[in-house]
Amino acid sequence: MAVQNRYDFVLLFDVADGNPNGDPDAGNLPRLDAETGHGITTDVCLKRKIRNYVLITNAGKEGYEIFVKEKAILNQAIAGAYTALGIDLEKEPSDAKDGKKRNSKGEAQGGEVEKGRAQMCRTFFDIRTFGAVMSTGANAGQVRGPVQLTFGRSVDPIVALEHSITRMAVATEAEAEKQGGDNRTMGRKHTVPYGLYRAHGFVSAHLAEQTGFSDEDLKLFWGALVSMFEHDRSAARGEMTTRGLYVFKHEGKLGNAPAHKLFDRIEVRKKNDGRPPRSFGDYEVKVDDAGLPAGVTLTKVVG
């Protein structure tokens, strides 16, 4: 059964001596708001970590494959959905309602597209969750996912540091000869000394019905938000940790209160000690769970 309730949530995560989300168009510098200096992480960055967590924890489990993954060929996955359904896109449509002739060999049309879209939702967790554009290749249309995430934004401005690093090796013999056998390569590394980031998210029960996003899927999603950084370690990212996950559950599908008013109940403040923040202990999180709107409950999954 698809999720029957609306959810809104606040996610807090931090980075210490690492680059949480480099910008490839800016020399991989940490992303930031040029006007305020606040750090930014994209929704795509967070979704990548969620997908990776699901791949690790549900490898080989039916219905929990990942559509957008490293080295994936998306059109092959879409064509595979029609193969699983027994629909030959090289032949004329088997149902006259879908047309007497195939307009384009290898491409679904009419009611076939709906069948292909449903098969993709059943097969891939990230399509059920985030949606996908599948109108290329064999064509399985588009899906709008029930789970949406905002960009993460640091609570305070961040400082992006640049470090010179040395590799005691070169890639080619020509480089070695040029250096006279010194064989050193200089490079750069960018880090944020510390940053506490906040992102918001939403789960739509109505869109969950369209993709089949279930309570089991939702449980896995919460688990991914809590543990995704534990399985995404790298020298570039330093230490990243989920510090808070606050979930507002609505009694009905439409919701019982505006999301922004619920988010205002989670207040994050830097302790006024005059020092720049360098750890989560330099912040305090205040949760106003008194007098919640009727039909809304708050669960502190982490925090």
Three-state secondary structure string covering 197-218? EEEEEEECHHHHHHHCCEHHHH
Spatial distance between the Cα atoms of 131 and 145, rounded to a whole number of angstroms: 4
Number of domains in the chain: 1
Q: Which amino acid is at 162?
A: E
**CA dist., res. 74 & res. 69, Å (int):** 9
Per DSSP, helices labelled H in the chain are 43-57, 74-85, 111-123, 125-130, 173-178, 205-211, 215-227, 259-263
Is 175 a member of any domain? no
pLDDT number for residue 82: 97
pLDDT at 174: 87
pLDDT in tens, the chain (303 residues): 899 999 999 999 999 999 999 999 999 999 999 999 999 999 999 999 999 999 999 999 999 999 999 999 999 999 999 999 999 999 999 998 999 899 999 999 999 999 999 999 999 999 999 999 999 999 999 999 999 999 999 999 999 999 998 888 888 888 888 888 778 888 889 999 999 999 999 999 999 999 999 999 999 999 999 999 999 999 899 999 999 999 999 999 999 999 999 999 999 999 988 899 999 999 999 999 999 999 999 999 998
- Which residues neighbour 24 within 8 Å (Cβ) at sequence distance 6 or greater? none
Spell out a b/e string for 123-135, using b for 16 or more CB atoms within 10 Å of the CB, else e: bbbbbbbbbbebe
What are the tokens at 284?
A: 């305090």
Instruction: Tell me which residue of 13, 50, 9, 46 sits closest to 299, measured CA to CA.
Output: 9
pTM of the model: 0.94
205's CB contacts (< 8 A; 6+ apart) are 2, 3, 4, 5, 6, 146, 253
3-state helix, strand, coil in the chain (%, to 5): 30, 30, 40
Which residue in 223, 204, 217 sits closest to 63, CA to CA? 217
Q: What is the dihedral of CA 175, 180, 183, 185, to 10 degrees?
A: -60
- Under 8 Å between Cβ of 263 and 41: no
Q: Is residue 120 domain-resident?
A: yes
Does some domain include residue 112?
Answer: yes
Are residues 134 and 107 in contact, defined by beta-carbon separation less than 8 angstroms? no
Distance from C-alpha of 44 to C-alpha of 34, rounded to nearest angstrom? 20
Q: What is the domain range of residue 14?
A: 7-159+189-302
Q: From CA 80, how far away is CA 116, in angstroms rounded?
A: 9
Evaluate whether residue 167 is within a structural domain: no
Nearest to 192 by CA among 31, 11, 10, 27: 31
For residue 164, being part of any structural domain is answered with no
What local confidence, expressed as pLDDT, does residue 221 receive?
Answer: 98
User: Is 176 domain-assigned?
Assistant: no
289 domain-assigned: yes
Distance, CA of 196 to CA of 36 (rounded, Å)? 15
Phi–psi pair at 124, nearest 5 degrees? -115, 120
Helix axes of 215-227 and 43-57: crossing angle, nearest 10 degrees: 110
Considering the domain boundaries, does residue 184 fall inside one?
no
CA distance 116 to 123: 11
Only one residue has tokens 């193969």, namely 83
